[in-house]
Amino acid sequence: MTDWLFPPRPQPSLPVEGDDRRFPVRRILCVGQNYAAHAREMGSKLEGHAPFFFTKPADALVSDGGDPAYPSATANLHHEVELVAAIGEGGRIVGWAVGVDLTRRDLQAEAKAAGRPWDAAKGFDQSAPCGALRRGDLPDADAEITLRVNGEVRQSGRLGDMILDPQAVLAAAGALWSLQPGDLIFTGTPEGVGPLVRGDRVEAAVGGLPGLLFTLA
**The CATH number of the domain covering residues in 13-215:** 3.90.850.10
What are the domain boundaries of the chain?
Answer: 13-215
Please check whether residue 42 is in contact with residue 112, taking contact to mean a CB–CB distance below 8 angstroms: no
Please check whether residue 195 is in contact with residue 76, taking contact to mean a CB–CB distance below 8 angstroms: yes
CA-based nearest residue to 34, from 54, 18, 11 = 54
Q: How would you write 29-52 as a 3-class SS string? A: EEEECCEHHHHHHCCCCCCCCCCE
Which pLDDT value is given to residue 46?
65
* Spatial distance between the Cα atoms of 132 and 98, rounded to a whole number of angstroms: 8
| Total-model pTM | 0.96
* Spatial distance between the Cα atoms of 135 and 6, rounded to a whole number of angstroms: 35
- Half-sphere exposure (Cβ direction) of 211: Cα atoms closer than 13 Å: 10
Which pLDDT value is given to residue 212?
98
User: Please, which residues have CB within 8 angstroms of residue 103's CB and are 6 or more apart in sequence?
Assistant: 77, 78, 79, 80, 121, 122, 127, 193
User: Please, which residues have CB within 8 angstroms of residue 164's CB and are 6 or more apart in sequence?
Assistant: 31, 34, 51, 172, 188
pLDDT digit of tens for each residue in the chain (217 aa)? 899 999 999 999 999 999 999 999 999 999 998 998 777 776 666 666 677 999 999 999 999 999 999 999 999 999 999 999 999 999 999 999 999 999 999 999 999 999 999 999 999 999 999 999 999 999 999 999 999 999 999 999 999 999 999 999 999 999 999 999 999 999 999 999 999 999 999 999 999 999 999 999 9
* Spatial distance between the Cα atoms of 45 and 13, rounded to a whole number of angstroms: 37
CA-based nearest residue to 31, from 141, 185, 155, 184 = 185
Which pLDDT value is given to residue 47?
63
